[in-house]
Structure 1
Amino acid sequence: MTTATATTGTAITERSARSRPGDIWRIIRLQAVNPSMLFGIPWMILGGALVVTILIALILRGAGISDAEDGFRYSWAVLSPQWYLIAVGVQAVAFTFSFALGFGATRRDYWIGTSAMFLFVSFEMAVAIATLVQVEKATNGWWIGAGMFDTLWYGQQGWWFDFYSTFALQLLVLFIGASITTIYMRWRMRGMITLLAVGIAALLALVAGLTFSDSWGAVFEWVASIGLVGVFTILLVKAVFWAVLGYFVIRRATPR
C-alpha cells in the first residue's frame, strides 16, 4: 500500500510538473485579455507624442526657424509611455491576481507568467523604438527636421544600445508598478506607508552622506566611467531586484 501511495504521489508530482508550462501560458493569456492596456495605450501615447512633435516642427519650419533641430535633441517625448507603464504594472497584478488564484493557478506560476508578459512587452517596444530611431535618422526627422526618437541618449551608439536601454527602462517601470502592488496586497496601507517612509529615509540618508562627505564629484566621475551602458545595466539589475522582491511578497499576498 505504501508503494502504491508513493507511486500515486510520484504520478501527481509528474503531472504537476508537466502542467506548469500550461499554467504559466494561461497566465500569459490572462494578461493579454485586455491588449489595449499592454499594447494599445502605450503606442497611442507614443503616437500622440509623435504627432505633436511633427506639428511643432511644421510650425517652426513655417515660421522660418531653421536651427530648431538641435532643440529637439532635448525632447523627452520618446519616454512618454514610461509613466503609463508604471500604471500597467499596477493594473496587471491588481486586475488579474484574484482571478488567477480562482482558477487554481499557483502564486509562483502567476508571477512567472506575468513576468514573461512584461519581458515580451519590453522586448517589442524596445525593438520598435530602436528601429524608429534609425528610421528618423535616415529620413532626417521625418523629412521635416522633427526629433522624436533621435533624442537624449538615443541614436548615439547604434541600434543595439537603443534596444538595450529601452528594454532595461521599460522592464524596470513595469516591475516597480507590479511589485508595489504586491506590497499593498500583502500589507495594505501599512505596507505602502512603510515603503514610502523607508524610501524617503534612504534617499535622504544617501544625499546627506554624499553631501557631508563631499562625494558628489566622485559619484559623477564613477557614472562617467561606466558610461551609458553601465547606467542602464544598473537599471536592469534594479528591474531584477524588483522582480525578485515581488515574487517573494506575492507568495503571501492575499487577493482583495
Structure 2
Amino acid sequence: MTALTTAPRRGAAPTDVLRLHFSQRALLLRTPPGIMLVVFALTVIIAIIFWRVGSVPGSDEWVQNSRSNAAIFWALPGFFGWLGVQTVSLTFPLALSLGSTRRAFVAGTVLTHVVLSLYVTAMLLVLLAIELATGHWFFDIYMTDVWILGAGNPLQLAVTAFLGTLFVLSVGGAFAASWVRFGALGPMTLAAVSVISLGIVAIFLIPLAALFQPWWIALAAGVVIVLAVLAQYLFLRRASVR
C-alpha cells in the first residue's frame, strides 16, 4: 500500500505580490517618463516665451527664475497618489484570492512602492546628468537642476525624489487601506486625524523655526512613511475582502 502525501501549499511571498503589481508594467513604467516628457515640453515652451519677450538665456536673472521651476516636482505626485490608492484598494482582494496573506500583501506593496521610488529617482538622476552635460539642454533650460531638487546636487535630488515618491505612494496606500477597512468613513476620519496632528506638531515646532534644518523634512517624511505603512497593515489585518 502506497501512502500518498501532499506538500503543503506555500502562501504567496512579498515578491509574488510585487510581480502581481507589476503585471501592469505599461502603467507603472511608462507613465512617469510620459509625465516628465510633458513637463519638459512645457518648460521649453515657457523658456522660449521668456526669451522672446526679452529675457537673456544664461543671465543671472534667467538662472534664478529658471531654478524656481518646480514643475517636475509637482507633476508626479498626482499620479503616484492615485497609484498608491490603486495598489491597495484594487489589488488587495485579488492578492488574497491568489493565496497571499495580509502581511505578505502589505510587505509586497511596500516593496513595490520602494522599487517605483528607486525607478523615479534613477530617471531624474539620468535627466540631471544629461541636463548638466548638455549645458541645460543647449538652451539654458532648467528642469531638474532646480532649487527644490538641490540645484544640481545629485545626492539631494536622489533623497528628495526617493522620499517624495515613497511618501506619496505610502500615504495613498494608507488612505486606500482605511477605505477597504471602514468604507467612506475611513479616509474622512484619517484625513481629519492627520490635519489635527499636523496642526499640533506645527504649534510645537513654530518656536523652533529659527533652528530649522533641511534634514528635518527628510526625517518627517521618513516618520510619515513608517506610520503610513503601519496603518496599511493595521487596517488591512481585519479588513473584509470586498
Smaller-chain TM-score bracket: 0.7 to 0.9
Match of 1:129 in 2: 124
Which residue does the alignment assign to 2:185? 190
Looking at structure 2, the residues matched to 200 and 164 of structure 1 have their Cα atoms a distance apart, in angstroms, of 25
Tell me the distance in 1 between the aligned counterparts of 2:95 and 2:88.
Answer: 10
Structure with greater proportional helix content: 1
Residue 233 of structure 1 corresponds to which residue in structure 2?
Answer: 219
SS of aligned partner of 1:148: coil
* Structure-1 separation of matches of 2:113 and 2:162: 10
Q: 1:220 aligns with which of 209, 226, 229?
A: 209
Structure-2-length-normalised TM-score: 0.86
**TM-score with structure 1 length normalisation?**
0.82
- 1:239-250 superposed matches below 5 A: 239-250=225-236
CA displacement 1:98-142 (0-9 Å, x = unmatched)? 111112211111111111111100011112212322321232220
Give the structure 2 partner of residue 33 of structure 1. 23
Give 1:205 shift. 4.1
Q: 1:76 aligns with which of 70, 73, 82?
A: 70
* Native 8 Å contact 1:23 1:105 kept in 2: yes
Alignment length, in residue pairs? 233
2:181, 2:239 within 8 Å by CA — same for their partners in 1? Answer: yes
The Cα shift of 1:73 comes to 1.1
Note the C-alpha offset of 1:171.
0.5
Distance in 2, matches of 1:154 and 1:174, equals 19
Amino acid at match of 2:13: D
Q: Is the 8 A contact 1:43 1:81 kept in 2?
A: no
Preserved CA contact (<8 Å) 2:176 2:187: no
Query: Equivalent residue for 1:253?
Result: 239
* Cα pair 2:146 2:152 within 8 Å, conserved: no
Distance 1:51 1:151, change over 3 A: same
Distance in 2, matches of 1:190 and 1:78, equals: 33
Q: Which residue of 1 aligns with 2:35?
A: 45
Change (3 A) 1:196 1:237: closer
CA distance in 2, matches of 1:222, 1:83: 32
Contact 1:168–1:233 (8 Å) recurs in 2 = no
Is the CA contact 1:131–1:159 (under 8 Å) kept in the aligned structure 2? no
- Does the Cα contact within 8 Å between 1:126 and 1:166 map onto a contact in 2? yes
- 1:181 is matched with 176
Residue 193 of structure 1: CA displacement? 2.6
For structure 2, the residue ranges without an aligned partner over 5 or more in a row are none
Q: In percent, how many aligned pairs have the same letter?
A: 24
Check 1:223–1:157 CA distance in 2 against 1; reply closer, same or farther (3 A cut).
farther
CA deviation map 1:190-214 (0-9, x unaligned): 222322332333344455x45xxxx
Question: Highest CA radius of gyration, 1 or 2?
Answer: 1
Whether the 8 Å CA contact 1:172–1:238 is kept in 2: the answer is yes
Deviations 1:129-186 (A, max 9, x none): 1232232123222011111111123244732221112101110100000111111111
Q: In the alignment, which residue of structure 2 is the partner of 1:3? A: none
Contact 2:32–2:120 at 8 Å: present in 1 too? Answer: no
